[in-house]
Structure 1
């Protein structure tokens, strides 16, 4: 962004503040932007707040805070700080970071729920010891006939396969038909003692999880780390924010609803530059590494916690996606929708690896 473009952006923030009644001033024809003085910060600084303070009838620091809030919502602005008697110090968004962000969102949308997956034989397969990297080998999982162990093994098979491994599960005894029907688990072989492969032995479930149904039961068994005791309670069925599973599935359903609403308004997602939550972008960037680590360390719980973090980061962002009132859909709305859809794809893909449904309506 050039100084002339930034000057126009600053004036746009002034107009926004005037339009919503936060400032009662005549919008000036020009806003002076310069490099920060010694001791300043950011890429550019402007004294527009000091210029408007007297006609606005407000202290310059107060005017600067008003303008800061409006500047942070504009494209190209990374950060704004108020210094001294009311100077606005503005940091611009890195152009390289913008390109990387657009590529990230575009890549997720192209991959869909398989974002972070590795083609079979193309990467993270493993040896009989459970190590990742022995390309072409088979990872053999073995477990005792205990419901949590079988569910964890089933989730690990999904995770390892997503990372290019070929996986088999052996159980000491045949799995009850009810476990297969309700929990969606299956094993490849059973019967007889065996010391081959990786033993899956989490802390056993303290109660029968089947009454919770497939999704809540699997979540209850997979969310805690293997050495932690799972809670088999009806809390996992509660449809409110206190339930992490609800937040994850609700966040996904909201992204799908936004896509439907946008279609009704005549626009669709298009990756582009827009103001985004940094924590959400960081989580999306990290998703492939989360899958790889969860597979390598045989820890589906780390994926479950990652999905909760993604949901908690995207939910506050979603109200800004669609146009409001009589506002027309702009490039920024298409870019925000693309980011929301990308987060939804990560949530849906992660839930599928845990064997949990990601409904479009909730």
Structure 2
């Protein structure tokens, strides 16, 4: 019996008690069951009696007695105790607990997936760094977290579109083009321009790819460097994202909003909602009506549209393309964007508490030998995604960046993350998976297997170590659903570390295979089912994080 099935059983017990006139309450839509920290308190516990007490007009323990009598009659429930003010502690018999191993193996890759967010259409935008240079360390964090979140959301039933917003219009692109032009002509890069070896590399690629570009008039030449430089830089970003295992369904151009007239149309739509006004020759959006610290200019007095106007048009584009919830994953220096983006949503007539979510990622730093690493030779003044991959690898980068809540700063220790020790979290988890694969390989060498499902004897999985692993395995669907609902993929990583720890202890205390002349027993076979179930969940979790599940290390 899984925790979800137990939750339904407790809910059914409440419903039956209501129908029998033993309780006069509304049946809860969902009943929470949890694994108690103290295993002497049973396999699972629920506080449903305390939750119902006020509405029922009865003491919690009296309600618990009613429900305990019904739960004791459920097949597979060995014991139901009432503790404290009215907690129900439920203990399964060994066969019911062990049956989970067969359930997981037969479900395979689908185990853990659920429909908690079924049908919800989410536009998930992340990274979205200016296409004026390589992805820096902050963007690498969002590449790991954003892609993992997309996988988790899809696994919980959501309809997700991942999107990269290319800021390919405006001042920074002009500075980028001028930097390329200066480098190609052997001149110093402008003081406020871009530096680093990549500028020289792109400039060289343009001069070789567009013969005669340096003979063009300066304005025409600059346009070539702008267009070609942008194309090459975007291609480079796409390459680095794909090699990092991060895929975007849509690469959305800011310039397209201006070229298509979408910005002007967005301003008119906002005007129709009654929140646009004119003052000092400019056109404004009254965002202070919805919590912003000041109203925002849409069109300046000189007729030039602002970045904010493009932000408004971009949000409306997402809505027009079917997004119910637009998730923006922004860098640590974008705190000021939260209220203004929410105000755009409200000014558009949408619900700023439902139709938009803005998440801010905190800073990342890297250290080696105790010293902070600050610069990249290629980019000049930042650490790039390629640097991170070169130093610690894709798996270590994705796992480590994804295992910490994004509202916390994080330090990546290169020495630790390239070591094969338990201090390295990705090694600790992946090594557990290789141990499981090793058991399967050894079994194959001995010519034994776990046997057919019909011959599996779940009641033989009765030691405390087996029970501990089964308990953690049962929590995976709930962990996944919570990670999706709260937009916190780090919960999956921390879960895998817990599972790895339980498996390592199981490995050290239980024999999975016969030794020497010992005969293969039903207990060995049952444990092989448990090993395969654990490997399945570990692989499923690593896949959701975009991390490989190696068979050997």
Taking structure 1 as the reference length, the TM-score comes to 0.66
**3-state DSSP class of the match of 1:139?**
strand
Aligned positions of 1:113-128 closer than 5 A: 113-118=109-114, 123-125=115-117
User: Does 2:475 correspond to 1:286?
Assistant: yes
Q: 1:231-265 deviations in whole A, cap 9, x for unaligned? A: 23322221122212111111111111101111222
Q: 1:118-142 deviations in whole A, cap 9, x for unaligned? A: 3xxxx233xxxxxxxxx32311112
**3-state DSSP class of the match of 1:141?**
strand
Higher Rg of the two aligned structures: 2
Partner of 1:179: 240
User: Does 2:280 correspond to 1:101?
Assistant: no
Partner of 1:275: 462
Q: 1:333-360 deviations in whole A, cap 9, x for unaligned? A: 1111111111111111100000000011
**3-state DSSP class of the match of 2:108?**
helix
Cα-Cα RMSD: 2.2
For 1:97 and 1:183, locate their aligned partners in 2 and report how far apart those are by CA, in whole Å: 45
**3-state DSSP class of the match of 1:171?**
strand
Partner of 2:428: 247
Partner of 2:122: 139
Count of residue pairs the alignment pairs up: 257
**3-state DSSP class of the match of 2:450?**
coil
Partner of 1:22: none
Structure with more of its chain in helix, by fraction? 2
For 2:493 and 2:145, locate their aligned partners in 1 and report how far apart those are by CA, in whole Å: 12
CA positional deviation for 1:148: 1.4
Listed as ranges, the gaps of 5+ residues in structure 1 are 1-40, 42-77, 79-93, 126-134
Aligned positions of 1:169-208 closer than 5 A: 169-173=162-166, 176-189=237-250, 190-192=252-254, 193=311, 194-195=314-315, 197-200=326-329, 201-206=360-365, 207-208=383-384
Alignment partner for residue 440 of structure 2, among 243, 256, 259? 259
8 Å contact from structure 1 (residues 112, 345) kept in 2 = yes
Q: 1:258-315 deviations in whole A, cap 9, x for unaligned? A: 0111122232125432234232221101011011111111111110000000001001
**3-state DSSP class of the match of 2:426?**
helix
User: Does 2:550 correspond to 1:359?
Assistant: yes
8 Å contact from structure 1 (residues 136, 166) kept in 2 = yes
8 Å contact from structure 1 (residues 255, 344) kept in 2 = yes
Taking structure 2 as the reference length, the TM-score comes to 0.44
Q: Which runs of 4+ in 1 moved over 6 A?
A: none
For 1:98 and 1:221, locate their aligned partners in 2 and report how far apart those are by CA, in whole Å: 39
Partner of 1:224: 404
For 1:230 and 1:105, locate their aligned partners in 2 and report how far apart those are by CA, in whole Å: 36
Q: 1:23-74 deviations in whole A, cap 9, x for unaligned? A: xxxxxxxxxxxxxxxxxx9xxxxxxxxxxxxxxxxxxxxxxxxxxxxxxxxx
Aligned positions of 1:59-74 closer than 5 A: none
8 Å contact from structure 2 (residues 489, 545) kept in 1 = yes
**3-state DSSP class of the match of 2:518?**
coil
For 2:421 and 2:143, locate their aligned partners in 1 and report how far apart those are by CA, in whole Å: 29
Partner of 1:210: 389
